[in-house]
Chain A
Amino acid sequence: MILKELTLVNFKNYKEEKFRFKHRLITISGDNGMGKTNALDAIYFLAMGKSYFVGSDRNLIHTDQEFFRVDARLEEGDEKFHLVIKNRQGQGKEIELNGVRIARLADHIGLVPVVFITPDDVHTLLSGNEERRVFINNTLVQLNPQYLDALAIYNRNLKQRNALLKDFWDKQYWDQDLLDVITDAMSAPAHFIHGVRTSLINQFNPVLQEYYQHISQGRETVSLIYSSQLDGNNFKDLSIKNGQKDKITQRTSVGIHKDEINFFMNNRPLKDFASQGQLKSFIFGLKLSQYAYLKAQTHKEPILLLDDVFDKLDQGRVERLLSLMGDTNFGQIFITDTHIGRTAQLINGEEIADHFTIAGGKITN
């Protein structure tokens, strides 16, 4: 998918601005706080219906304004798309594709596959299982609308189940029938999600190994290991077995919300044994594997968003990364950098890239 035009109205620090893209590579330079990352986040928002950084859509609206609008013209082969997502305070978002309203987010995600790489990813992905599950989820929702539906049904029922367990405890009663009804409702989505996650991670590992070695030039073997309580077990059986525990802790102790995704290097936990450089190579490799996987599954070239990554990488890794970007495996790539001209120089040449300079939510060049 190729983004040809992007118009932002009241989106974060953009009052109103229009970008036109001619090339496959786009660099956006400017000082910190000028709106480079916000431009990338707007593209991510178009694809995923939510911000990469901000939890609530309300906080994406420009100060003192009541709505925002992200308007894009895209192309995939001969097909042209006009995609608009707007949000009016208190009214939620509206997605429109070629003038037709799309009611459910699940039916929109996947049209524009996207991968976002930010310097914070190293920290985030190493910090906890929840963040790693989010990464896996963000990959799978782009491929399978049923995955997002299953996740939504599972999570809503999980909330209800936890609320019920708490109510049992607070009011000192027990309603096995109601608990069973909610547990049953979680079972099918749980097994579906478990199956999809398992197959994703099996297919991920060889690609991860390849990208890791390319970026790091290292000989280590790296892998993701997925472990779930549902591996070889039935959700309902486990729930029954853990009934007493759930009753006392007033929490649901069994399910895919407890799934673990761990990173390994040479069969040892990555976090404990890898150097800073190896960690960065791993996370980059992981994100590029996400790219390769999305591309293979959707037969579309995802949009790659690289935020400020050159600041955090050493010269050698940057060069190897750019040599990867240069090859035709990638579609459109957006790169931000605080050094005006640096990325442009690295990519060498105006003819293959669009260069923008941003200040205060405005294009200045």
Chain B
Amino acid sequence: MRYPSQTLEKLVAAIASLPGIGKKTALRLALHLVQDKSDKAAVLGNALSRLKDEIRFCIHCHALSDTDECSICQAPSRKNGVLCIVENIRDLMAIEDTASFHGRYHILGGLISPIDGIGPADLNIETLIDRIDKEGIEELIMAISPTIEGETTSFYISKKLAGRNLRLTTIARGVSFGGELEYADELTLSRSISARIPYKMGT
């Protein structure tokens, strides 16, 4: 495609370099910004230029933050002693959205996968162990995807924590809420049966 303006061409190329965005979508977004009458382009530009300078990683949990300590780690309302381990910031945000977890998080920054060249040293496992010892953690919730690499990572962490007085839990796996049994796949259903949970007796 030939562009009437080099500035436009540069912007299209920059937008198209983002994941999930093709040339056509990039052009549509770029033209929208050009033709927009408000200060959308300036706001976006300002936000983008501040991104790399101002965003940092929380020194405790490795979440994205504006300060050295993220808002969750700072919040006094958060329950002490409970840590939820997640793979990445998106998983953290998904759990935060449920508003049903009140402890703090620890972001691993990936999963162990030798095929992809990712070993334990590439993840935030050492800082996790430090935190557990320093912060007096009583319960560790493994909120890690139940994939093969997820299982390896959870199991590896549990091995590294052997001998500590700590309650280890993992998020429940099974039939989804509102789902019908007959449509659940066999692996999920068989896990749901073997990891069944107590049910309150009627009174």
Q: State whether these chains interact.
A: yes
A interface with B by C-beta (< 8 Å)? 100, 103-104, 106-107, 145-146, 149, 153, 156-157, 159-161, 163-164, 166-167, 175, 177-178, 180-182, 184-185
Q: How far is the CB of A248 from chain B (nearest CB, A)?
A: 18
Q: How far is the CB of A100 from chain B (nearest CB, A)?
A: 7
- Measured in the bound complex, the distance between the Cα atoms of B156 and A178 in whole Å is 6
Residues of A within 8 A of B151 (CB): 185
Instruction: Say yes or no: B159 contacts A156, CB within 8 Å.
Output: no
In the assembled complex, 29 residue pairs joining A and B whose CB atoms fall closer than 8 Å, in A order, are A100-B183, A103-B185, A106-B186, A107-B185, A107-B186, A145-B186, A145-B187, A149-B186, A149-B187, A153-B148, A156-B148, A157-B148, A160-B115, A160-B149, A161-B114, A163-B114, A164-B119, A166-B114, A167-B114, A167-B117, A175-B119, A175-B120, A177-B159, A178-B112, A178-B152, A180-B159, A181-B156, A185-B152, A185-B155
Which range contains the number of B residues in contact with the other chain?
A: 20 to 34
- Measured in the bound complex, the distance between the Cα atoms of B92 and A28 in whole Å is 57
Asked if B160 lies at the interface with its beta carbon under 8 angstroms from chain A, I say yes
- Measured in the bound complex, the distance between the Cα atoms of B190 and A35 in whole Å is 42
Residues of B within 8 A of A106 (CB): 185-187
Q: How far is the CB of A102 from chain B (nearest CB, A)?
A: 8
Q: How far is the CB of A252 from chain B (nearest CB, A)?
A: 12
Residues of A within 8 A of B156 (CB): 177-178, 181
Q: Interface on chain A toward B: helix, strand, loop, or mixed SS?
A: helix
Residues of A within 8 A of B117 (CB): 167
The answer to whether residues A160 and B159 also contact, given A107-B185, A107-B186, A153-B148 and a CB cut-off of 8 A, is no
Residues of A within 8 A of B152 (CB): 157, 160, 178, 181-182, 185
Asked if B67 lies at the interface with its beta carbon under 8 angstroms from chain A, I say no
Instruction: Say yes or no: B148 contacts A160, CB within 8 Å.
Output: yes
Q: Which residue of A lies closest to B152 (CB)?
A: A181
Those of B97-129 within 8 Å (CB) of chain A: 112-115, 117, 119-120
**Which of B112, B113, B114, B185 is in CB contact (< 8 Å) with A104?**
B185
Given contacts A156-B148, A167-B114, A177-B156, 20 further A-B contacts (CB under 8 A): A107-B185, A107-B186, A145-B186, A145-B187, A149-B187, A157-B148, A157-B152, A160-B113, A160-B115, A161-B114, A163-B115, A166-B114, A177-B159, A177-B160, A178-B112, A178-B120, A181-B152, A181-B155, A181-B159, A185-B155
